Structure 1
Amino acid sequence: MQQTKEQYNTGTATAKQPSHEADQSKTQRLRDKKVGDLMVNKRRLVEVPYTATLAHTMNALVANKVLAVPVAAPPGQWIGAGGSMIVEADKQTGTVRKHYIGLATMLDILAHIAGTEDQLMDEGVNDGFDLDQKMSVPVSTIIGQCLEGLSLWTLNPNTSIVDCMEVFSKGIHRALVPVDSHMDNVAGVELVESASSYRMLTQMDVLKFLKEHASSGSELDGILSRTVSDLGVVTERVFAITDRTKVIDAIKCMRIALLNAVPIVRSSDADNEEDHKQLVNGFGREVIGTFSATDLRGCHFATLKTWLPMSALDYTETVFANPLLASIASNTAGPTSRELVVCQSDTPLGQVIDKVVTKQVHRVWVVDQQGLLKGLISLTDIIRVTRFAIVAEPNP
């Protein structure tokens, strides 16, 4: 969501005020902003019907450059994710048209491809692996393979940014925001909602908003200049894969650990017994790459058999040779192959937020001067500490 700072100005007095008052009007009272302020120019919701195949769903993710899509079903026939009742209803009559029953993510699809069968590695490299069959099942059958698919929430446009950040600080990555809600007087997160249409709000949208809002004199001044170590935003326990881990094993590990991305560390020459099919403790290891579910967007189904038995490191080094993937990376300002998005423990939080938004990544690896892994910073962690700083700011 790219917006100019002028879109956040209040009223029409900006052009008449002195510049310092204009800046104050533009940046003051972040805590008074609402979720609706983040939804300006948000595009229509990308969704798939419950009958869509996984192949169709993956195509929708790739074509729209999104990481998750809501799954819509006829009303009254399904139990929604987490028992939710989030429906789309006709604006005039209130007649319910569809019920959103969960989310389908790229990791859900990859976890389904990887499967749980012991013989999958053999199937992945010979003609016994029936990829067409795996990708022809309805998307409704894979909802919940990964926990995120069951996390379907709504946030009312009247919810404050601070309350929105509290929700996202608990590990919820995205929420539906109703347009023309039938519950306009409700503020907060809801499992029951009826609206004529929805938009999707993500953790990344919040950080983009904060980046746009940050300027001299804002409530964020104090926290953005502090180091990530000082703020306690670094998680030191990091699970990783090695440079010998195959793509299919990496996907299995990510599914079990509910991870969307893992760092790739150099394998230990001294430890010949290191199990490259399992996650390893990445702390203090040399980081040489990142393997993420988002890296797999755009892979044509015909090539899946080729890359499943590849090492994850080889895959990340060759994936952007594919013109389609190179185009995706260029359009989303994402990192190129082998580019590591890292920081150090003394990096200011503001610089980390800038890296996250500019590179469109959902985590930053923390390394020392030698490039050894010391931890990670997630979007959840950033939102958590930023919210705390806003709440702690004294009222004028």
Structure 2
Amino acid sequence: MERSSSGLSSPEAELGHRVEDIWESLQEPLLSPSEKLNSCFQNIPVSSFPPAPSSQVIEINSDSSLAEAVQILSSHKILSAPVRNVDAPEDASWIDRYIGIVEFAGIAVWILHQSEVAALGMMAGSAGMGLAVGGLVGTVGAAALGTPASAITGTALPAAAGAGASAAVGPGHSGPEAAASMGGNFFEALTSSDFYKNTKVLDISGSFRWAPFLALQKSDSFLTMLLLLSKYRMKSLPVVDLGEVKIDNIITQSAVVHMLAECVGLPWFENWGTKSLSELGLPIMKPSQLVKVNAEEPVLQAFKLMREKGVGGLPVVEDDGRKAIGNISIRDVQFLLTTPDIHKDYRSITAKTFLTAIRSYLEGHDDTSSPMLLGTITCQKHETIKDVILRLDSKKIHRVYVVDEEGNLEGVITLRDIISKLVHEPPGYFGDFFDGVVPLPPNSRV
């Protein structure tokens, strides 16, 4: 095990040693390696998990604008943050202190809605149609189309809102495709509008899956945590104690995979980690089930597919769709909102031009740490799950694509997939708590 210069191992490695101690104490011969891992994690409380790297949990106030929320998430390089209810008293319990967790996924859904409403206005011939969310009225549609705000009619908005999100703008044109055809004008108008600046995080609370969120108690077990992060599709889990007013820790899928990477070399990990991907049944999906976007499709189509299919990222493909030229993840929606330089000169923002523009922007700003500059990270089925864990952890990415000898796509392995192969749910473990919750509603989150 690697040791730091101080001679001490990392908190994650120390945790791995604790798992090892429990592993070695389980002498029951009838226990399979899988059952032994479940028993190990069942016997370790969540309070043992190392705290988040930052000294405090990043919170976003409920009265913050979407623009402010995006800036906070982007600057801290996080995918989500708890939303603090500014109307709650300082001594309120955590369940009253927070209203939910805002994610880039929810913001992406909001953007898609705006593009669809603007497109509905085009379809109705009402180019200056305003947009409304939570009682706020803006003129993004008008600005995107170069129409004066005075041209907004009072009847187009209700009619378009009633038409729903599935309406089309001419044959074969969905809302996102119509918005993309506006080029950078749509995003420039959206992000510079008072509508975007004034829309509050509270106004998109419909994208929050739980109210306020599904939280772990410090006394809960690692097994509970791992099942929630895998089978039950949580991306992050706040840790609280009854009676406390603030979140004590936030455990993410990335943090768990980092912990596993720190456990390389320990017998319990090697027993599991040296298995090949194919031995563990990875990738889970068949090649035909892989969600992907063509390089020449509008970039908003990528985010639309993520919303519809419930995935956090997808490959960008060319020609016959067998080889990937890049990856777009849900976090990349931030580039459409925070860096107008990447899209203002494009008449049409395709997935390919989006990748090219972001890479050029990052290189020009000497930001070499972004996963967008890594290209497409791949692996093959004969590699071990340890290999993939180390790759994901070192690159700070959330998915790796499985390819054959010719580089053709065969599937994808995500952080969730890896965690799901570490533990399994004992019969009746959660009782009927999740009845009707899994699978997720199609538009609830990405």
TM over 0.5: same fold? yes
Structure 1 residue 6 displacement after superposition: 5.2
1:71 aligns with 2:102: no
- Which residue of structure 1 aligns with residue 353 of structure 2? 314
Structure 1 residue 122 displacement after superposition: 4.7
* Among candidates 306, 324, 343, match of residue 287 of structure 1: 324
Alpha-carbon contact 1:367-1:374 (below 8 Å) kept: yes
Q: TM-score, length-normalised on structure 2?
A: 0.65
Superposition map of 1:315-354 within 5 A:
315-323=354-362, 329-330=368-369, 334-337=370-373, 339-354=375-390
Alpha-carbon contact 2:276-2:383 (below 8 Å) kept: yes
What secondary structure is seen at the aligned counterpart in 1 of 2:57?
coil
Alpha-carbon contact 1:365-1:376 (below 8 Å) kept: yes
- Which residue of structure 2 aligns with residue 253 of structure 1? 305
Question: How far apart are the structure 2 equivalents of 1:360 and 1:325?
Answer: 21
Superposition map of 1:203-222 within 5 A:
203-217=253-267, 219-222=268-271
- Which residue of structure 2 aligns with residue 368 of structure 1? 404
- Which residue of structure 1 aligns with residue 340 of structure 2? 302
Question: How far apart are the structure 2 equivalents of 1:324 and 1:296?
Answer: 18
Structure 1 residue 243 displacement after superposition: 1.2
Structure 1 residue 257 displacement after superposition: 2.6
* Among candidates 6, 11, 19, match of residue 7 of structure 1: 11
Question: How far apart are the structure 2 equivalents of 1:326 and 1:150?
Answer: 39
What secondary structure is seen at the aligned counterpart in 2 of 1:230?
coil
Alpha-carbon contact 1:108-1:142 (below 8 Å) kept: yes
Structure 1 residue 345 displacement after superposition: 1.0
Structure 1 residue 201 displacement after superposition: 1.0
1:97–1:242 Cα change, 3 Å:
closer
Larger radius of gyration: 2
Q: Deviations over 1:347-382 (max 9, x none)?
A: 100011111111111111111011111111121111
Structure 1 unpaired stretches of 5+: 12-22, 77-87, 184-193, 269-281, 391-396
- Which residue of structure 2 aligns with residue 59 of structure 1? 71
Structure 1 residue 226 displacement after superposition: 0.7
1:308–1:164 Cα change, 3 Å:
farther
What secondary structure is seen at the aligned counterpart in 1 of 2:373?
coil
Letter in 1 for 2:239: V
Structure 1 residue 144 displacement after superposition: 3.5
- Which residue of structure 2 aligns with residue 37 of structure 1? 48
**Range with bigger deviation, 365-374 or 246-255:** 246-255
* Among candidates 378, 388, 392, match of residue 356 of structure 1: 392
Q: Deviations over 1:26-70 (max 9, x none)?
A: 842253333222233642111111111111001001111101111
Question: How far apart are the structure 1 equivalents of 2:263 and 2:11?
Answer: 11
Alpha-carbon contact 1:38-1:205 (below 8 Å) kept: no
Superposition map of 1:226-265 within 5 A:
226-234=275-283, 235-236=285-286, 237-265=289-317
- Which residue of structure 2 aligns with residue 189 of structure 1? none
Q: Deviations over 1:90-110 (max 9, x none)?
A: 3xxx67795211221123223
Q: Deviations over 1:303-327 (max 9, x none)?
A: 4544693221222233133248965
What secondary structure is seen at the aligned counterpart in 1 of 2:319?
coil
Q: Deviations over 1:186-213 (max 9, x none)?
A: xxxxxxxx43443211011111112212
Letter in 1 for 2:97: H
What secondary structure is seen at the aligned counterpart in 1 of 2:357?
helix
Q: Percent same amino acid among aligned pairs?
A: 21
